[in-house]
Chain A
Amino acid sequence: GAVVSQHPSWVICKSGTSVKIECRSLDFQATTMFWYRQFPKQSLMLMATSNEGSKATYEQGVEKDKFLINHASLTLSTLTVTSAHPEDSSFYICSARAVGQGSNQPQHFGDGTRLSIL
């Protein structure tokens, strides 16, 4: 149980385009989802916390107009990287908090999206 699906798993696109990444909780409702970014040989860095039906809370240094987060339902959050540039190339990982599911894990993680901007 408590599976988080992330799509796409990898994407390559040209500089200047916008890329949308989806994060779905498949068998539970997630009132809170988190978005992380991971550069090569580095740890996961929290980008933002997304609560269903409200605006996301961004970590210091993360541009909210660059990384648009939408959490319109209890099973789906999306991250859109707008006007992506090569420096946005990274591994993006989402996680979801399972509430009332009997889970003792604080967060369930997706398998990540590898984004490469040419």
Chain B
Amino acid sequence: DAKTTQPPSMDCAEGRAANLPCNHSTISGNEYVYWYRQIHSQGPQYIIHGLKNNETNEMASLIITEDRKSSTLILPHATLRDTAVYYCIVRVGPNSGYALNFGKGTSLLVTP
């Protein structure tokens, strides 16, 4: 799996958009970008994933650059409950039997 690089920590004011970057310059053509988050003492929670097109769901938006070497997860209106560690993971598609490998992620702190 391609390696990802994320900033170790970020702050965001409540109600503002949180933009979390991820570099994955060695991504292969068949690898997807997945985002999970882990709130303290809980299991990881799926947020969104994409291959090359931008994606949006009820939780977030995922913007993938045209060369696919980086992406940004956007939480449009961050709340205090969005404080968590966010993991960007690159891996082959959802039907693969391979495990997700978690890096260090970005610790997002949403402040009042």
Interface residues of A (CB under 8 A from B): 4, 6, 32, 34, 36, 43-46, 49, 91, 93, 95, 97, 103-112, 114
Contacts and interface: CB of A to CB of B under 8 A. Distances in A.
A105 B46 CA distance: 7
Contact of B104 (A32, A43, A93): A43
Contacts, number: 53
Interface of B: 34, 38, 41-46, 49, 87, 91, 93-94, 96-97, 99-105
A46 B42 contact: no
Given A91-B41, A105-B94, 12 more contacts: A32-B97, A34-B99, A44-B44, A44-B102, A93-B44, A95-B100, A104-B94, A107-B99, A109-B45, A111-B43, A112-B42, A114-B41
Contacts of A112: 41-43
A104 B93 CA distance: 9
Contacts of B38: 44
B57 to A, nearest CB: 10
B103 A43 contact: yes
Nearest to A33: B99
A103 to B, nearest CB: 7
Given A43-B104, A43-B105, A106 B91 contact: yes
B28 to A, nearest CB: 16
A101 B49 CA distance: 17
7 contacts: A32-B97, A43-B103, A105-B94, A106-B93, A106-B94, A106-B96, A114-B41
